[in-house]
Amino acid sequence: MIDAIATASFERILTALREEIGAERHDMWFAKVKLLDFRRGRVTIGVPNVFFRDWILQNYSDDLRRISHAVVGIELGFDLKIDEELAAQHRKTIETDALREAMAEEAPANLDLTLKRFIERPENRFARSTVERLLGCSGPMADDDLVEKFNPLVIVGASGTGKSHLLAAICAMRADETGPGRVLRMTASEFTARFTMSLKTRTTEAFRNRFADIDLLCIDEFHRFRSKKATQVELRQLIVGLIQRGTQVVLAARHYPRETWGLAASIESLLLSGMMCWLEPYSATSLVEILRQRRSQGQTMASSDLVRRLARGAKGSVTELERRLARVRVLSALLGERLDSGFLDRHAEELDLDGRSVVNPNRLVLEDVCVHFGISVDALLSKRKLRSLTAPRQIAVYILRERRGLTFKEIGRLLGGRSHTSIHLMHKNGRSAIEADDALLKLVARVTSRAAPGES
């Protein structure tokens, strides 16, 4: 049973939050929540559904922690749980058909990932033409010099720019020529998992034999091999062997080899020995056109004005634009409000339609570092002592101390309540790592410029 003191403290936190974010946004997201538990520094809040839970965690978790410290003297942790009673009440107030339709928008369309369906725009023209030349130089009339120059082929681009689509297109066309059994496509995580399992089960030879009779190997998310030393050694030997016998290797990554921290020099050199092409982030105009062409005949296209406004804050990513569009549709249905110009005006700040909302620069540092290393912010802030989390924490601490000017105590609080000693050690080790690695220096500059434009 929740005592009166806990209830009063929770109400004071919500009142302070209301004063900070405004009555309209507070009433929209917190009027229908309830306190489920409050003990040992953690507060459990009941919410009506998954969408409310995810939205509050994404947009208000930092505010809740900060305000709780001001109200009760310590920074509380907040857990959100779907409450059946709230869920039943909320279901009665929304338009079920509209919600069902909106949720359907969140499911990605079953796109035919062929080169023909890859929509050409100025930002991807070079990459597309490179793939066309690669596919055109296969077969009995192939130009051996061109094949050698294109091996390995490395496709570089941010999330949502079409790397996976191009890989799928290459695999589909080559499978039509040689048969599906001679084409192998996987992610870096899948390769690592299979290789690790082969070591544990002593079936390494069987693992290697899987690549013996293939004509094409495509590996997506290549940047996720960073810091995996044993896997990189195995991977390099595999790629060198495949290239020597004429097997085409195609790799996709978010960063250039020299900008990928934790990549062995031998792997970096191997990637740079072939052909490299890039996919630039899309302009808002290109995003709108790509979305228009990707809509299947059975789907309705949102208003051009809405799509353009969403595209401006989509960071050049088709995936992000579609996610934002789905988010707007779901919010409209959940609130039972019609998706029209009035809705956009009322909720523009909440939805950040133009991508201009004020963000916490220190939180942005953590997010950017996590994106670079391929981990989640939750993992970074956790108490887990994993090798894969050591470097990201050190780099984040260094940036927060040297470029953001936070004290060790402030950084410790930001990183989940860590001690002054542990933060000091992370800072020391981070400084040493950065001074010895140009790629990390570039990362620091990039993250700093995003967190506080004008600083470097």
Tens of pLDDT along 180-194? 778 999 999 899 999
pTM (2 decimals)? 0.58
Q: What's the number of domains the chain is made of?
A: 3
Looking at the domain assignment, is residue 447 inside a domain? Answer: yes
Burial class (CB in 10 A: 0-12, 13-18, 19+), 3: exposed
Looking at the domain assignment, is residue 393 inside a domain? Answer: yes
Looking at the domain assignment, is residue 107 inside a domain? Answer: no
Q: Tokens standing for 171?
A: 């695999």
The answer, yes or no, to whether residue 447 has pLDDT greater than 80, is yes
Maximum mean pLDDT: which of 137-146, 203-212, 257-266, 346-355: 203-212
Looking at the domain assignment, is residue 351 inside a domain? Answer: no
- Structural domain harbouring 445: 361-451
What distance lies between CA 287 and its chain's CA centroid?
A: 18
Residues linked to residue 275 through DSSP beta bridges, in sequence order: 153
DSSP 368-404: HHHHHHT--HHHHHSS---HHHHHHHHHHHHIIIIIT
CATH number at residue 365: 1.10.1750.10
Looking at the domain assignment, is residue 101 inside a domain? Answer: no
- On the CB side of 157, CA atoms within 13 Å amount to 30
Give every strand in the sheet of 42-47, ordered side by side.
34-39, 42-47, 77-82
Within 10 angstroms of residue 197's Cβ, the number of other Cβ atoms is 12
Gap between the Cα atoms of 407 and 216, Å rounded: 52
Per the model's pLDDT, the better-predicted residue between 163 and 343 turns out to be 163
Gap between the Cα atoms of 190 and 196, Å rounded: 10
The answer, yes or no, to whether residue 145 has pLDDT greater than 60, is no
- Examine the fold and report which residue of 73, 93, 113 is the final residue of a domain before the chain moves on: 93
What distance lies between CA 118 and its chain's CA centroid?
A: 22
The answer, yes or no, to whether residue 369 has pLDDT greater than 70, is yes
